[in-house]
Structure 1
Amino acid sequence: MSDENTTHFGFETVNAAEKAERVAGVFHSVAAKYDLMNDVMSGGIHRLWKKFTIELSGVRPGNRVLDIAGGTGDLTAKFARLVGDEGQVVLADINDSMLKVGRDKLVDKGFLGNVQYTQADAQFLPFPDNTFDCITIAFGLRNVTDKDMALAAMNRVLKPGGRLLVLEFSKPQNSLLEKAYDLYSFNVLPMMGKLITQDSDSYRYLAESIRMHPDQQTLKGMMENAGFAQCRYYNMTGGIVALHKGTKA
């Protein structure tokens, strides 16, 4: 990053003010086929990553949960069942196309009273201090322009003792796995994107954005700097994905 006014969009250096719009274009393009691509790209393993996230969340009946970059609502649906009629889940996404797909999917499944939908930027969360018992952001933090600002905003809106869970692509822990993963990411993924969504560029950006995201230890340090305590991470699928957890002091 050359200065505070620039940031990364994949491997490109772009004006920081431009990144959100570029990311929005990616997700407008893929929203309708997002769930299908998740299953195809991961061989369905993303469901296990999300299941582990739910298990580690400690969410109980009556809790308030914020699902940032919640997209098509996979985590929101599971949290809505856990919190029950007395609780509330807010599905937040910066992208209105993703939010519409998520809302339609959840309404079709019968989730009505305890789910709300908010178009919001993770850096500028439109909620009062100390609102939520748990916040999740799954495969969304790497797309945020200022990750430190977003983590501070998450800390602000969590209740004391509340948990943040960040599920994100990370750095493989084995050099052979890393080589195979690079081959897959930069060759197979864009081809899948072209076949399924008629958009290879968005999936090339996905591969590049993963490589530019902070590694496990760096992200843990960023969470601690944002005021989170008891921070730790769990590598899954050899570190291709990591789940970070922290608690608001």
Structure 2
Amino acid sequence: MSEVRQTEHGRKVAAMFGRIAGWYDFLNHFLSLGQDCYWRYRLARLVKPLKNGLILDLAAGTLDVSVELLRQYPDCRVLAMDFTYQMLHCGKRKKLDGKHEPVRGKHIAAVQADGKIIPLPDNCLDGATISFGIRNILPRAEVYKEILRTLKPGARFCILEFGSGKKRIWKGVYNFYLNKVLPFIGRIISGDSGAYTYLADTIKAFPDERSLGEELRKAGFSRVMFIPLLSGIVYIHVAEKAE
């Protein structure tokens, strides 16, 4: 386990996700009507690492993206890194093919660590992902700096994240769902309304797709692009380290 830098914000976020770790996968599938599986598939498709490469799955949570990366790139190794131990512990019980091989082992390594201090050398990664986690790390510039440092030239950083909740989507139906329905369902199922109120609040405070792209460019990434999914409720951002 690497040294984890504790900040007040980080402690609160880690404690919150630790409380809902056991319900996290079920609620992800239920609240997205199963769309989250497709989103992770699309995210992994865009990484395009070199053969036998090393991919970092930052804010890996319960390892769903890590498993999808290994399904699509079985010759690669995946380093799953998260600030919350309970989330990683839940993920390590999963099976790669749904039946047989557990995710722990030589192909996926789970490490508790801070995304602002990545315990890796420079220019060692053939790709990096973060799925619904960039909102939870502040300041984001420190994450960008570390990802840029550890990526090999030409490698991709792929972000799966909600769009800004400030936009009215589906004539406001999505906004009502985000603000009212999601915290209610989260409280009923997990018993923790605060976690899903936090989710709604961070989505509303998050920059829109163009502003996030500008953040990545200012951080030093090149060839930055974004792909909207589900009417812009979710976006995949792709940024490359310059050759």
Q: What is the TM-score of this pair, normalised by structure 1? A: 0.88
Offset, 1:61: 3.5
- Give the match's secondary structure for 1:54: helix
Please tell me whether the aligned partners of residues 160 and 248 of structure 1 are also in contact (alpha carbons under 8 angstroms).
yes
2:84 is aligned with 1:92: no
State the partner residue of 1:121.
114
Q: Which amino acid aligns with 2:13?
A: V
Partners of 1:99 and 1:184 in 2: CA distance: 29
State the partner residue of 1:242.
235
| Cα distance change on mapping 1:69 and 1:178 into 2, 3 Å | farther
Q: Which amino acid aligns with 2:12?
A: R
- Which of 67, 72, 80 lines up with 2:70 in the alignment? 80
Please tell me whether the aligned partners of residues 173 and 239 of structure 1 are also in contact (alpha carbons under 8 angstroms).
no
State the partner residue of 2:3.
none
Partners of 2:164 and 2:57 in 1: CA distance: 24
Please tell me whether the aligned partners of residues 32 and 101 of structure 1 are also in contact (alpha carbons under 8 angstroms).
yes
| Cα distance change on mapping 1:222 and 1:214 into 2, 3 Å | same
State the partner residue of 2:25.
35
2:126 is aligned with 1:137: no
Q: Indicate the percent of aligned positions where both proteins have the same amino acid.
A: 32
- Which of 197, 208, 221 lines up with 2:201 in the alignment? 208
Structural mapping, 1:1-249, within 5 Å = 17-85=7-75, 87-106=76-95, 109-111=101-103, 112-171=105-164, 175-177=168-170, 179-249=172-242
Q: Deviations over 1:131-160 (max 9, x none)?
A: 111000000000001101111111100000
Q: Which amino acid aligns with 1:188?
A: V
Partners of 2:107 and 2:71 in 1: CA distance: 9
Partners of 2:84 and 2:77 in 1: CA distance: 21
Please tell me whether the aligned partners of residues 174 and 238 of structure 1 are also in contact (alpha carbons under 8 angstroms).
no
Offset, 1:60: 5.0
CA RMSD between the two structures: 1.8
Please tell me whether the aligned partners of residues 83 and 112 of structure 2 are also in contact (alpha carbons under 8 angstroms).
yes
Please tell me whether the aligned partners of residues 134 and 158 of structure 1 are also in contact (alpha carbons under 8 angstroms).
yes
Partners of 1:161 and 1:109 in 2: CA distance: 32
Please tell me whether the aligned partners of residues 164 and 205 of structure 2 are also in contact (alpha carbons under 8 angstroms).
no
Q: Deviations over 1:157-176 (max 9, x none)?
A: 00001100011011369635
Offset, 1:69: 0.5
Q: What is the TM-score of this pair, normalised by structure 2? A: 0.90
**Please, which runs of 5 or more residues in structure 2 have no aligned partner?**
1-5
| Cα distance change on mapping 1:58 and 1:185 into 2, 3 Å | same
Q: Which amino acid aligns with 2:47?
A: S
**Please, which runs of 5 or more residues in structure 1 have no aligned partner?**
1-15
- Give the match's secondary structure for 1:57: coil
Partners of 2:127 and 2:106 in 1: CA distance: 19
Q: Deviations over 1:219-240 (max 9, x none)?
A: 1011111111000101111111
Please tell me whether the aligned partners of residues 186 and 204 of structure 1 are also in contact (alpha carbons under 8 angstroms).
yes
Q: Deviations over 1:90-120 (max 9, x none)?
A: 0000101111111222487433221111111
State the partner residue of 1:7.
none
Partners of 2:171 and 2:125 in 1: CA distance: 36
- Give the match's secondary structure for 1:130: coil
| Cα distance change on mapping 1:74 and 1:103 into 2, 3 Å | same
Offset, 1:190: 1.2
